[in-house]
Chain A
Amino acid sequence: MLMLSCLNRTSNTKQPIINQIEIDEQTSHQLEGLEIYMRSTDFTGHITNIKINTQKLPDTAPDDSLIEELHTVNAGVIETFVGTPTNKIEFKIITEEGETIQFEKEIIISLCLSNNELSWAGSGSVFPATSLFIQKATKIKNSQPFNASPDFCK
Chain B
Amino acid sequence: MSEFNHRFEVGLSHALDYTTNFKPKVRRGIYDNILIAQIADKALQIEKIPPWVATAKKEIGTAEVVGAKANPRILEYFKSSKFWGEDDSGGANAWCGSFTAWVMEQHNYTPPKAAYRAKSWINFGTKIKEPIIGAIGIKSRTGGGHVAIILGKSKDGKQYYMLGGNQGDKVCVKTYSKTVWTDWVVPPGFNTKGYTLPVYKGEATKAGKEA
**When the two chains form their complex, are residues A36 and B211 in contact, meaning their CB atoms are under 8 A apart?**
no
Please tell me if A100 contacts chain B, counting CB pairs below 8 Å.
yes
Query: Known interface pairs A27-B84, A95-B91, A123-B97. Does A33 touch B143 (Cβ–Cβ under 8 Å)?
Result: no
**When the two chains form their complex, are residues A64 and B208 in contact, meaning their CB atoms are under 8 A apart?**
no
Taking the closest CB of chain A, its distance from the CB of B174, in whole angstroms, is: 9
Tell which of B98, B113, B122, B211 has the most Cβ of chain A within 10 Å.
B211
The count of residues in chain A whose C-beta lies closer than 8 Å to any C-beta of chain B is: 41
- The interface size bin for chain B is 35 or more
Produce 1/0 per residue, B108-139, CB < 8 A to A. Answer: 00000110111110100000000000000000
What residues of chain B lie closer than 8 Å to A124, measured between beta carbons? 83-85, 114, 116-117
What residues of chain A lie closer than 8 Å to B175, measured between beta carbons? 64
Contact of A123 among B117, B158, B206 (CB under 8 A): B117
Interface of B (DSSP majority class)? loop
**When the two chains form their complex, are residues A29 and B82 in contact, meaning their CB atoms are under 8 A apart?**
yes
**When the two chains form their complex, are residues B210 and A95 in contact, meaning their CB atoms are under 8 A apart?**
yes
A65's nearest neighbour on chain B, judged by CB, is B206
Please tell me if A92 contacts chain B, counting CB pairs below 8 Å.
yes
Query: Known interface pairs A64-B175, A114-B142. Does A30 touch B84 (Cβ–Cβ under 8 Å)?
Result: yes
Produce 1/0 per residue, B43-82, CB < 8 A to A. Answer: 0000000000000000000000000000000000000001
Please tell me if B145 contacts chain A, counting CB pairs below 8 Å.
yes
**When the two chains form their complex, are residues A61 and B180 in contact, meaning their CB atoms are under 8 A apart?**
yes
B140's nearest neighbour on chain A, judged by CB, is A154
**When the two chains form their complex, are residues A120 and B144 in contact, meaning their CB atoms are under 8 A apart?**
yes
What residues of chain A lie closer than 8 Å to B206, measured between beta carbons? 64-66
Produce 1/0 per residue, A88-124, CB < 8 A to B. Answer: 0000111111111111000000001010010111111
Please tell me if B207 contacts chain A, counting CB pairs below 8 Å.
yes
Taking the closest CB of chain B, its distance from the CB of A101, in whole angstroms, is: 4
Contact of B209 among A36, A98, A112 (CB under 8 A): A98
Taken together as a complex, chains A and B put the C-alpha atoms of A123 and B59 apart, in Å, by 21
Taken together as a complex, chains A and B put the C-alpha atoms of A92 and B118 apart, in Å, by 17
Taken together as a complex, chains A and B put the C-alpha atoms of A64 and B206 apart, in Å, by 6
Taken together as a complex, chains A and B put the C-alpha atoms of A46 and B63 apart, in Å, by 32
A100's nearest neighbour on chain B, judged by CB, is B90
**When the two chains form their complex, are residues A101 and B91 in contact, meaning their CB atoms are under 8 A apart?**
yes
Taking the closest CB of chain A, its distance from the CB of B147, in whole angstroms, is: 10
A30's nearest neighbour on chain B, judged by CB, is B84
For the complex of A and B, 6 pairs with smallest distance between CB atoms = A94-B143, A122-B117, A65-B206, A30-B84, A26-B84, A119-B143
Given contacts A26-B86, A65-B208, 10 further A-B contacts (CB under 8 A): A64-B175, A66-B176, A94-B142, A97-B209, A99-B91, A123-B93, A123-B94, A124-B83, A124-B85, A126-B92
